[in-house]
Amino acid sequence: MITFKDIKKTYPDGTTAVRNFNLEIKQGELVTLIGPSGCGKTTTMKMINRLIDPTEGYIYINDKPVSDYSIHELRWNIGYVLQQIALFPHMTVRENVAIVPELRKWKSKDIDERIDELLAMVGMEPSTFRDRYPSELSGGQQQRIGVIRALAADPEIILMDEPFSALDPISREQLQEDILKLQKEIKKTIVFVTHDIDEAIKLADRICLMKDGEIVQVGTPQQLMNSH
Ligand code: ADP
Ligand code: ADP
């Protein structure tokens, strides 16, 4: 599904953030990228949807180089959840979640159904929350909206960059459960960045351990634990 082939990324200031990076992520797999701050996790993620391009090597999605997709195709088919909650403050929950479905020209009725289904999925009563503004939500609720916004148009791939690190432990655990459920039920391919080993073990089909821009080890949580 997603293949990294001999990837190297050097920023214009000379910092090589990622090197010798080879990885194949299968359809429906949840892979966590884990490692200390600055090891290249975010850089790796941003190359998948072409927020940045590698200096060397290729990334393929379904055997086609990402550079052969239009930016629209990539933005529409890849959901992206960030650590910083990035909801538009002047837009309601419904309006925030509807952005990509509207760009894709979904019918208003279909969008409304989809939003209610997603709100219910993360335990937020649709009639209560649909028309609220972000300032009328708790941090955990805002982050849930960030997650469902990324899922709204049913992308094949979901990228999550420390999506829960700003949350209290209870919201965090709830959302981890949501992600596990999602991945089991709808078989999304998910790349999940974290620096929390417990979170990585809990969520991952496979863990990719990074250090100084390189992969140190890749394996199932079980394989990684047995080797330490
Ligand atoms: P995190 O560990 O959460 O990824 P960082 O502090 O490493 O946070 O980086 C946050 C963002 O700031 C990165 O995604 C990157 O785009 C940008 N950034 C990090 N280091 C630099 C740098 N030396 N020069 C310019 N931008 C940087
Ligand atoms: P992580 O997500 O693991 O914290 P990043 O991918 O954000 O790591 O950063 C990897 C390395 O690249 C760090 O040394 C960071 O300072 C550097 N870096 C990130 N973004 C930039 C940038 N825009 N310009 C220069 N260096 C950057």
Q: What is the pLDDT of residues 23-38, one digit of tens each?
A: 999 999 999 999 999 9
Half-sphere exposure of 29 (CA within 13 A, CB side): 17
Determine what percent of the chain is predicted with pLDDT higher than 90.
68
Q: Which long-range contacts (CB under 8 A, 24 or more apart) does 87-90 make?
A: 87/134, 87/142, 87/145, 87/146, 87/149, 88/134, 89/133, 89/134, 89/135, 90/133
User: Dihedrals φ, ψ of 152, to 5°?
Assistant: -55, -50
Report whether 4 contacts 57 (CB < 8 A).
Answer: yes
**169 pLDDT tier (thresholds 50, 70, 90):** confident
- Ranges 92-101, 122-131, 141-150, 165-174: which has the least confidence: 165-174
> Greater confidence, 121 or 34?
34
User: Per-residue pLDDT for 228 more than 70?
Assistant: no
Residue 37 CA, ligand 2 centroid: distance in Å: 9
Nearest-CA residue for ligand 2 atom 15 is 38
Ligand approaching nearest to the C-alpha of 209: 2
Nearest-CA residue for ligand 1 atom 26 is 11
Angstrom distance (rounded) from CA 117 to CA 52: 33
What residues contact residue 60 under an 8 Å CB cut-off, 6+ apart? Answer: 2, 3, 5, 66
pTM above 0.90, yes or no: no
Determine what percent of the chain is predicted with pLDDT higher than 70.
99
What residues contact residue 108 under an 8 Å CB cut-off, 6+ apart? Answer: none
10 dihedral zone (left: phi>0; alpha: psi -120 to 50; beta): beta
Q: 3-state class of 64 per DSSP?
A: strand
What does the block give as tokens for 226?
């047995």
Angstrom distance (rounded) from CA 129 to CA 84: 21
> Greater confidence, 225 or 128?
128
- Ranges 5-9, 67-71, 172-176, 203-207: which has the least confidence: 172-176
Report whether 18 contacts 43 (CB < 8 A).
Answer: yes
Residue 38 CA, ligand 1 centroid: distance in Å: 7
Ligand 2 neighbour 227 (Cβ under 6 A): no
Residue 221 CA, ligand 1 centroid: distance in Å: 27
Mean of the per-residue pLDDT values of the chain: 92
Q: What was the ipTM of the complex prediction?
A: 0.72
Ligand 2 neighbour 41 (Cβ under 6 A): yes
Ligand 2 neighbour 68 (Cβ under 6 A): no
CA distance readout (Å), 15 to 4, 9, 19, 212, 214: 20, 8, 11, 11, 14
User: Per-residue pLDDT for 145 more than 70?
Assistant: yes
